[in-house]
Amino acid sequence: MSERCPVPLLWPRMAHSARRDSPELPDFSLLKRLARDQLVYLLEQLPGKKDLFIEADLMSPLDRIANVSTLKEHEVDKLYKVEYKPITSTSDQLCFLIRPRIKTVKWICDVANADKATGKFRRYKIIFTPQKFYACEAVLEEQGIFGDVTTDEWAFYLLPLDDDIISLELPEFFRDNFLAGDQRWVRTAGSALHLLHSLYGPFSKVYGIGRCSKMAYESWREQVAEGEQRTRQAEIGRVFLIDRDVDFVTPLCSQVVYEGLVDDIFRIKCGCVEFGPDVTSDKSVKVMLNSQDKVFNEIRNEHFSNVFGFLSQKARNLQTAYDKRRGMDIKQMKTFVSEELKGLKQEHRLLSLHIGASESIMKKKTKQDFQELLKTEHSLLEGFEIRECISFIEEHINRQVSMIQSLRLLCLLSITENGLMPKDYRSLKAQYLQSYGVDHLLTFANLRHLGLLVEQQPGETLTVMESKVGKLVNDKTAGKLTDAFSSLARKSNFRALSRRLNLVPKSGEEYDLRVPRDMAYIFSGAYVPLSCKLIEQVLERDGWTGLEEVTKLLNGNEFAVTGSNGADSKAKNDAQRIILVMFLGGCTFSEISALRFLGREKGYKFIVVATAITNSSRLLESLLDNHV
């Protein structure tokens, strides 16, 4: 497909090219070393041979910190996955490495009580990570084994997934905080920030928007006030905190940059992806996806339409490098084998994997009428042809294409239109429940609670700016005038934000995806992600001044605070151009690509810290309640 494009044109602005003056990123491997040392210390608190039970979703993060041989060195005998059933371990010492979840603590109590009943004496140690909650200790007390176990905390807050991506690996943060209103993870986010501040700070300026961001900031400030201050050379200058619910549109859009597509289709887990036989034509392989993979590093941020052109050029270059060996004498051949061959073989292996992945993505996407789907999304974002979009969504639901995808389109329709007209809402909801089961009623309640899928109330059909600021008509009249205003009906906060921040470029303009001109390239030129646009605007203005109307539309909770340590925010040293962005509730690979693009354009380097990496499927799966 891209074979015909003149390849040299493709690469001047490619993902890996950076402004020459762009600053160096801090070294985050220190975070891994600290976490490993603390875990080793905690294991040594239980001397002698022991069996270690690890919670399933901690296995991948643990593997990035301490491998099996490290654990064996510290007298861990056997490793088990927590499976909530009676255990087969015969060891006298059991160590449990778990998240602070009541279900898991209850299971540990069952294990200990079963041992008591059979007169078996063992020592038990529970290591909670990243922290323990009072509720967990209360369960131990209730079950009568509080005195029989020792508990500890492994303060493993941050896992570096790449040079510029750090994850808290807490996918439950989103549901717990935004749906259940459970704020127990806020302090965890504050502690993660505190750790980064103590290692790479002091920060000169902190900006943020969202209720959770404000609380995390306050929690961090409290921890700073409690600890001692050290003056050191800052490596990170500015910090931006943002709540996921400030921008739901971006994670609900289909991803079209390479890394985002790989995540949508193959699911990247903890920086690692498993490619099956459809990619490898052989057995499944696990691949680490980060900047060490030279092939991946050059295509990760590229729009998918550019990827094949790059890979075919890479294959030709590789062939040329292999062909060099023809006509070499013995000495040259020896040098070639010892210095170049290994690297070429590794590159060859990675290249064939990414070509396989790209072909697999192409097959899956053509099968699903992907172009038609993108067209519908773009129409929703622009606010055009809404009736046609609703027909497409109805067909999607009735053909039972995908439970999650249908839900995603419904949410996108609702957010971009400031809620659905009552008759549309009722009709679409009924069709969805008929297609996918009435047990999704609770899911609809969750989505309504979050404002993701709502019915317009009479009088809400005016645009937010007209109804809030203009006070054109009072509520009583608005109720009567709903029909008369139905032409205005579907203008929402999103529409108003989109106009104010210019999020949707004019559709008539040509957009060359090979030479992107703004962050909209990550959505084929159709939409600039709101989250990233806010970050760009606030950094440009050094605060929220001039964005008052925007923050009003986003329900406020914005803040901008200068560091109390006297760090000069105007100092043009390298640290000031390193910006840490913390997404509370998850962040997508598309947003990371957009920030990398912004960094290259403006001479910044962004470090993304997320409670977890998310995408539309993960976000919506966390809100499903169909397991009645």
DSSP 430-484: HHHHHHH-GGGHHHHHHHHHHTSS-BPPTT--S-HIIIIII--S-HHHHHHHTTT
Q: How far apart are CA 184 and CA 622, in angstroms?
A: 18
| Pick from 87-91, 260-264, 543-547, 568-572: least confident | 568-572
CATH of 392-496, one of 3.40.50.10320, 3.40.1260.10, 1.25.40.850, 3.30.930.10: 1.25.40.850
- Once rounded to an integer, what is the mean pLDDT over residues 486-491? 33
Q: What are phi and psi of 170, to 5 degrees?
A: -120, 75
The pairing of strands 558-562 and 285-288 is unpaired
pLDDT > 50? residue 472: no
pLDDT > 90? residue 262: yes
Residue type, 616: S
pLDDT > 80? residue 247: yes
| Pick from 459-463, 597-601, 609-613: least confident | 459-463
- Once rounded to an integer, what is the mean pLDDT over residues 182-186? 92
pLDDT digits (tens, 9 = 90+) for 31-59: 999 999 999 999 998 899 999 999 999 99
Those residues whose C-beta lies under 8 Å from the C-beta of residue 35, and which sit 6 or more positions away, are 65, 154, 155, 156, 158, 159
Q: How far apart are CA 223 and CA 8, in angstroms?
A: 52
Residues of 397-434 as b/e, b for ≥16 C-beta within 10 angstroms? beeebebbbbbbbbbbbbbbbbbbbeebbeebbebbbe
The token pair that represents 122 in the structure block: 């063992």
Residue 478 pLDDT grade (very low, low, confident, very high; cuts 50, 70, 90): very low
Q: What is the pLDDT of residue 279?
A: 86
Q: What is the pLDDT of residue 231?
A: 66
Q: What is the pLDDT of residue 144?
A: 87
How many C-beta neighbours within 10 Å does residue 484 have? 11
Q: What are phi and psi of 496, to 5 degrees?
A: -65, -40
C-alpha distances out from residue 23 to 159, 236, 547, 577, 582, Å:
22, 10, 28, 7, 19
Q: What is the pLDDT of residue 316?
A: 83
Residue 468 pLDDT grade (very low, low, confident, very high; cuts 50, 70, 90): very low
- Once rounded to an integer, what is the mean pLDDT over residues 566-570? 46
Q: What is the pLDDT of residue 628?
A: 42
Q: What is the pLDDT of residue 462?
A: 44
Q: How far apart are CA 388 and CA 399, in angstroms?
A: 16
- Once rounded to an integer, what is the mean pLDDT over residues 353-374? 86
Q: What is the pLDDT of residue 180?
A: 92
Share of the chain above pLDDT 90, in %: 60
Residue 491 pLDDT grade (very low, low, confident, very high; cuts 50, 70, 90): very low
pLDDT digits (tens, 9 = 90+) for 212-239: 999 999 999 999 888 776 667 888 989 9
Residue type, 495: R
Instruction: Match 């279900």 to its residue by tokens.
Output: 103
Is the pTM value of this prediction over 0.85?
yes
Q: What is the pLDDT of residue 331?
A: 63
The better pLDDT of the pair 62, 569 is held by 62
Domain 265-366 identical in fold to domain 392-496: no
CATH of 29-157, one of 3.40.50.2060, 1.10.1740.10, 3.40.47.10, 3.40.50.720: 3.40.50.2060
Residues paired with residue 240 on neighbouring β-strands, in sequence order: 207, 581
Let me know: does 125 contact 154? Beta carbons within 8 Å.
no
What architecture is the 265-366 domain classified under in CATH?
Alpha-Beta Complex (3.90)
User: Of 298, 291, 235, 238, whose CA–CA distance to 23 is shortest?
Assistant: 235
pLDDT > 90? residue 350: no
The better pLDDT of the pair 310, 334 is held by 310
Residue 328 pLDDT grade (very low, low, confident, very high; cuts 50, 70, 90): low
Helix H or strand E encompassing 103:
helix 102-117
pLDDT > 80? residue 271: yes
Q: What is the pLDDT of residue 103?
A: 93
Q: What is the pLDDT of residue 484?
A: 35
Q: What is the pLDDT of residue 548?
A: 92
Q: What is the pLDDT of residue 458?
A: 73
Q: How far apart are CA 469 and CA 549, in angstroms?
A: 10
- Once rounded to an integer, what is the mean pLDDT over residues 74-89? 90
Sketch the domain layout of the chain as residue ranges. 29-157, 265-366, 392-496
